[in-house]
Structure 1
Amino acid sequence: MGEHLSREQTEAWLDENVVQGIEHQSGDGTEYNLQLQLSRLPLHVIKEETWGPLRVVGECAFDTDRVAALVEDAGRRQELLLRLNPVLVGAPGFYTFLDDEGDPCDFPHVHSILLEDRLYPDGASQQALMASVMATASTMRSIQNTAAALQNQSRQRTRDDATE
C-alpha cells in the first residue's frame, strides 16, 4: 500500500511561485479539495479517499456566445475538433466532453472539457504534482487559444465575405 498523502503534504508540495490563491474547499464528500490558480486558470487538487490518488482537475468551458457558436455550427465544430485533437491527445491523464448539465457527452453537445490527471500515492512527489498541475494548465490554455484562433479566423472570413 502506498503512502497517505495528507492535505498538509500536498499543499506543501505546491510551489507558491507558480500557483496562487490556494483555498480549501469542503463539503463535497472528499478528504480534501484544494482550489488554486495557475496563470489565472482555476485548477483543483482533490483527494477523495485516504489511500486514493490525487486528482488534478481542470475544466475549460465553451461558455461565451462566440465560442458556443463554433460548437453549434457543424462545419466549425468539425474544424474545432480537428484543431483540438492534438492538444487533447497530449493532455496528461484523460479528458471528457461535458454537456451543459455536466454530464459526459459527444462533442456535438459539448459545453466544457474536463481534464483529469491522477497521481497515485506510490508515485506521488512534488515533481510529479507540479508537472501534472502545469501540464493540465498548459492544456487548458491551449484549448482556450485554439478556440480563440478559430473564432478570430471565422470573424475574419465573415468580414472578407462582406467586403466582396
Structure 2
Amino acid sequence: MVGVIGEEQVIAWLDGKVVNDVQRVTDDETEFNIELRLARLPLHVIKEETRGPIRLVSNTGFDTERTRNLMESDEDRNELLTRIGPVLAVTPGFYTFLDGEGTSCEFTDAHSIQLEHRIYPDGASRQAMMEGLMSLATAMRYLQNTVTMLLEARQNG
C-alpha cells in the first residue's frame, strides 16, 4: 500500500531546472495547493483529500478583447475548435470549457479552458508528476499559439 503523499513530498519532486516560482496557496478547502510556473505558464498542484489524487491543473483564458471577438464569431470559433480539438483529445487527463464565473459550459460560452490531470496515490512519483505538468504546459502553449496565429491571420486577411 502506498503511503500518503504530502505537500513536502510533492515540492521535493519538482524539477527545479524546469519549474520555478513555487508558491503555496492558502486554501481552507484543500490539503494543499501549490502554484508554480513551467515555461512561464502558471499551473497548480492540488490535493483536496489526504488519500485522494494529486490534481495537476492549468487554465488558458480567452481574456483579451481580441480573443473575445474571435470567440464571438461562429466561423472563427469553429476554426479554433477544429485546430485545438486534437491537442485537447491527446493531452493526458481531461479538459473543461469554463464560462466567466468558472462554471462548466459549452465552447460557445467559454472564457477559458481548464486542463486537469490526476495522479492517484498508487501511481504517484516524481516521473508521473513532472510528465503530467509538462504535458499540460505543452498543451497550454499550443492553445495560446493557435489563438495568436488565428488572431494574426484575421488581422492580416
Alignment partner of 1:105: what SS?
A: coil
Deviation at 1:22, TM superposition (A): 0.5
Who is 1:30 aligned against? 30
Rounded to whole Å, the distance in 2 between the matches of 1:2 and 1:118 is 16
Provide TM-score, normalisation by structure 1.
0.93
**Pairing 1:17–2:17 present:** yes
Paired residues of 1:2 and 1:51 also in contact (CA < 8 A): no
Provide TM-score, normalisation by structure 2.
0.97
Amino acid at match of 2:12: A
% identity of equivalent residues? 50
Output one character per residue of 1:92-127: Cα deviation in whole Å (capped at 9) or x when no partner.
100000001110000100100000000001001000
Deviation at 1:86, TM superposition (A): 1.0
Who is 1:5 aligned against? 5
Paired residues of 1:31 and 1:49 also in contact (CA < 8 A): yes
Deviation at 1:27, TM superposition (A): 2.3
Report the aligned-residue RMSD: 0.8
Amino acid at match of 1:10: V
Q: Which has the larger radius of gyration?
A: 1
Deviation at 1:67, TM superposition (A): 1.0
Deviation at 1:135, TM superposition (A): 0.4
4+ runs of 1 displaced by more than 3 Å?
Answer: none
Who is 2:107 aligned against? 107
Structure 2 unaligned blocks of 5 or more: none
Deviation at 1:2, TM superposition (A): 3.4
The alignment of Structure 1 onto Structure 2 pairs a total of residues equal to 157
Superposition pairs of residues 1-164 of structure 1, within 5 angstroms: 2-157=2-157
Rounded to whole Å, the distance in 1 between the matches of 2:17 and 2:111 is 32
Rounded to whole Å, the distance in 1 between the matches of 2:3 and 2:113 is 31
Rounded to whole Å, the distance in 2 between the matches of 1:86 and 1:14 is 28
Rounded to whole Å, the distance in 1 between the matches of 2:126 and 2:90 is 21
Structure 1 unaligned blocks of 5 or more: 158-164
Output one character per residue of 1:119-147: Cα deviation in whole Å (capped at 9) or x when no partner.
00100100000000000011100000011
